[in-house]
């Protein structure tokens, strides 16, 4: 088990989403919100942390969209890059850089990776038979061909993989193939062509050693990885397309071919780190310590479907470069499904069912904090979860609003009203006061511990628990009664409450940053922004708490409640396919 304290800096990556559609809540729950909560936590702790992501802008699905819409691939990626950049911002995903794989710097980076692997003898050319349309005189990579899955019978399976059952097979095995291009649904033939393969088997021992060093990874991640490592063989890394990174070899076979998007995609993390160094004026070499220094901790946050790309393929590219570090952990979430309110059954989110909830739609209707709270509360860490409108309302209203928001609000309102808008004097502490004050560092440690283990649901439960304990204390002390008879005692109660509010302000910040910022404003404290250079540990001062006499602003409602009628209306729109 690796100790995060052994590292000087942490680089986090979230899977690069395709610039070929709007991101939806399933994406957020899988790869983005967990990384964002974690990086915000690291920044609060004063640790040097860099969070890198970007659009994945090459690949066959994008050219297919362009063909279907009669626009250029560039039009498609420009549209979705802009839309997704905005959608991420609206749910508070705080990338240090959200880049693009269509940048020239990415071509340079990808080609350098390939050439080094080539030099090392890890690349070979192979002849293979692929589907070819005689009607349009072209090879049909990936989604350009459709047919029936040889395994499950799904009729819209693509060239070498089935979206329905996840099966991978060779082109020969696809049943009833047909071209899938506007104006061409002819029956293709199999034709010989040459492609470049990466000899994954060259890295078996090193991958196994690396995997063995990380028993702390989630069992699903380890299981999928071990399955791949057991049967590594050469894997095709090029495609017949003109949309992608060109193959940097002086070879006639390279004509009309580009790198397969799954070769260049993860290299985008490196490209975007390079670009971050340039954009921030740190210099052309600023990226190197983040990728080549042994005291850097590399963390990949992904959805489960991306595991092999981050625990097998990308690591082999890195190993082939000689001087790159490997990930210390790959945090893969399971899937966020959708509860169908009519049938009461859980469904997979799918385009054809129209049941997906896009971030842009959802963020138009709900606050960033409400969205983040609920998605964190049900995060599919070890098993699938389902988005459920009733549960969204109940958990946000019942936990964040009623338990935490309410405690903060009544404590601060009463303090401001009765103690001249300042933290009251501590006075004489009784056993209950002391017990609650003494428990705060421990409770904050509990939140931190869960975050350090990437157990986001547990961490959030522990934050709510701080509020629960505080409510019990508040109700027992009845400051609204004692204020008429014993103002000093009331002051002590509210002094204690202010300490809890201060601790909550810190603990909430990674999860619901907007509310935490507003609360910090009320308390007159600053939550440091942190960043790649690190800073002071602000988790500690939160334990130290609020000084008596510190001025307070009039509190505002931190987390406004959701109205059931409004929820019902949104659920209705979702059920009729209007949430995409």
By the criterion CB under 5 A, which residues form the site for Zn ion?
Answer: 149, 151-152, 154, 162, 164-165, 167
What does the buried/exposed string (b/e) look like for 406-428 if buried means 16 or more CB atoms within 10 Å of the residue's CB?
Answer: bbbbbbbebbbebbeebbbeebe
Q: Give the Å distances, CA to CA, from 460 to 52, 199, 376.
A: 24, 43, 7
Helix (H) or strand (E) holding 469: helix 456-477
Q: Which is nearer to Zn ion, 164 or 187 (CB)?
A: 164
C-alpha span between 571 and 577 (Å, rounded): 10
Q: Which is nearer to Zn ion, 116 or 151 (CB)?
A: 151
Cα dihedral sign for 276, 277, 282, 288?
positive
CB of 305 to Zn ion, least distance (A): 14
Cβ proximity to Zn ion, 174 vs 558, nearer residue: 174
In terms of CB distance, is 151 or 457 closer to Zn ion?
A: 151
Q: CA 493 to CA 499: how far, in whole Å?
A: 10
C-alpha distance from residue 135 to each of 21, 144, 157, 374 (Å)? 29, 13, 21, 51
CB 160, min distance to Zn ion, A: 12
For the bound state, the minimum distance from the C-beta of residue 355 to Zn ion, rounded and expressed in Å, comes to: 21
* 8 Å CB contact between 11 and 50: yes
Q: What's the min distance (Å) between Cβ of 162 and Zn ion?
A: 3
User: Whole-angstrom Cα distance, residue 225 to residue 220?
Assistant: 8
Phi-psi map region of 187: left, alpha, beta (phi>0 left; psi -120 to 50 alpha): beta
By beta-carbon proximity to Zn ion, the closer residue of 149 and 179 is: 149
Q: Compute the least distance from the CB of residue 331 to Zn ion, in Å.
A: 28
- In the complex, what is the shortest distance from the CB of residue 177 to Zn ion, in angstroms, rounded to a whole number? 14
Cα separation of 124 and 439, whole Å?
A: 61
Residue number, 165 or 435, with CB nearest to Zn ion:
165
Q: Which is nearer to Zn ion, 164 or 204 (CB)?
A: 164
Which CB, 324 or 335, lies closer to Zn ion?
335
Cα distances (Å, whole numbers) of residue 235 to 26, 198, 239, 306, 320: 29, 5, 12, 16, 15
Cβ atoms of 376 and 40 closer than 8 Å: no
Do 496 and 535 touch, CB atoms closer than 8 A? no
Degrees (nearest 5) of the Cα angle 423, 442, 532? 85
Q: How far is the CB of 164 from Zn ion (least distance, A)?
A: 5
Taking alpha carbons only, the member of 207, 166, 244, 439 closest to residue 326 is 207
Nearest approach, Cβ of 152 to Zn ion (angstroms)? 3
- Which one, 152 or 557, has the nearer CB to Zn ion? 152
Nearer to Zn ion by Cβ, of 169 and 210: the residue is 169
The arrangement of strands across the sheet holding 9-14 comes to: 97-100, 48-55, 9-14, 296-303, 329-333
Q: Which residue lies nearer to Zn ion by CB, 151 or 561? A: 151
**Rounded to the nearest whole angstrom, what is the least distance from the CB of residue 171 to Zn ion in the complex?**
15
Least separation in angstroms between CB 180 and Zn ion: 16
Instruction: Please state the closest distance from residue 154 (CB atom) to Zn ion, in A.
Output: 4
**What is the rounded distance in angstroms from the CA atom of residue 173 to the CA atom of residue 164?**
16
Nearest to 142 by CA among 23, 76, 19, 241: 241
């Amino acid at each position: 088990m690796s100790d995060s304290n052994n590292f000087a800096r942490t680089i986090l990556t979230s899977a690069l989403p395709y610039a070929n559609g709007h991101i939806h809540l399933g994406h957020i729950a899988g790869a983005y919100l967990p990384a964002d909560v974690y990086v915000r936590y690291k920044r609060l702790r004063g640790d040097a942390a860099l969070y890198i992501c970007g659009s994945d802008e090459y690949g066959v699905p994008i050219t297919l969209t362009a063909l279907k819409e009669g626009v250029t691939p560039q039009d498609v990626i420009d549209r979705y890059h802009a839309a997704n950049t905005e959608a991420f911002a609206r749910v508070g995903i705080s990338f240090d850089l959200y880049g693009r794989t269509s940048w020239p710097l990415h071509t340079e980076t990808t080609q350098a990776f390939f050439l080094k692997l080539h030099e090392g003898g890890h690349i070979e050319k192979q002849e293979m038979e692929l589907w070819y349309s005689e009607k349009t005189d072209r090879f049909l990579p990936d989604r350009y061909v459709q047919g029936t899955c040889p395994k499950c019978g799904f009729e819209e399976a693509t060239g070498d993989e089935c979206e329905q059952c996840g099966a991978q097979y060779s082109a020969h095995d696809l049943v009833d193939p047909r071209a899938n291009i506007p104006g061409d649904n002819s029956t293709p033939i199999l034709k010989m062509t040459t492609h470049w393969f990466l000899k994954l088997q060259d890295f078996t021992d090193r991958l196994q050693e690396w995997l063995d060093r990380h028993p702390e990874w989630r069992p699903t991640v380890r299981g999928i990885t071990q399955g791949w490592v057991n049967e590594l063989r050469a894997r095709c890394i090029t495609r017949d397309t003109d949309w992608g990174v060109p193959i940097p070899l002086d070879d006639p076979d390279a004509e009309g071919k580009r790198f397969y998007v799954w070769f260049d995609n993860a290299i985008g993390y490196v490209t975007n780190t390079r670009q971050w160094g340039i954009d921030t004026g740190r210099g052309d070499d600023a990226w190197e310590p983040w990728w080549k220094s042994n005291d850097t901790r590399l963390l990949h946050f992904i959805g489960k479907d991306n595991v092999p790309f981050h625990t097998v393929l990308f690591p082999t590219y890195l190993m082939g470069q000689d001087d790159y570090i490997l990930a210390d952990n790959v945090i893969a979430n399971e899937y966020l499904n959708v509860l169908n309110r009519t049938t009461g059954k859980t469904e997979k989110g799918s385009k054809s069912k129209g049941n997906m909830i896009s971030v842009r739609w959802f963020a138009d209707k709900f606050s960033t904090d409400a969205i983040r709270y609920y998605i964190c509360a049900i995060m599919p860490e070890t098993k699938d979860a389902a988005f459920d409108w009733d549960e969204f309302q109940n958990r946000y209203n019942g936990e964040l609003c009623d338990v935490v928001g309410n405690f903060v609000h009544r404590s601060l309102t009463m303090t401001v009203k009765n103690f001249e808008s300042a933290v009251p004097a501590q006075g004489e502490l009784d056993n209950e006061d002391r017990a609650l004050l003494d428990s705060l560092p421990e409770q904050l440690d509990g939140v931190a511990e869960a975050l350090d283990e990437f157990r986001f649901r547990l961490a959030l439960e522990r934050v709510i628990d701080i509020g629960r304990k505080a409510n019990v204390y508040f109700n027992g002390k009845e400051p609204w009664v004692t204020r008429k008879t014993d103002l000093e005692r009331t002051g002590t109660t509210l002094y204690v409450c202010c300490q809890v509010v201060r601790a909550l302000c810190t603990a909430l910040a990674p999860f619901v940053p907007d509310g935490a910022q507003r609360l910090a404003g009320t308390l007159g404290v600053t939550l440091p922004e942190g960043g790649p250079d690190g800073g002071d540990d602000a988790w500690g001062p939160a334990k130290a708490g609020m000084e008596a006499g510190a001025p307070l602003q009039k509190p505002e409602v931190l987390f406004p409640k959701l109205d059931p009628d409004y929820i019902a209306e949104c659920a209705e729109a979702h059920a009729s396919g209007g949430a995409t």
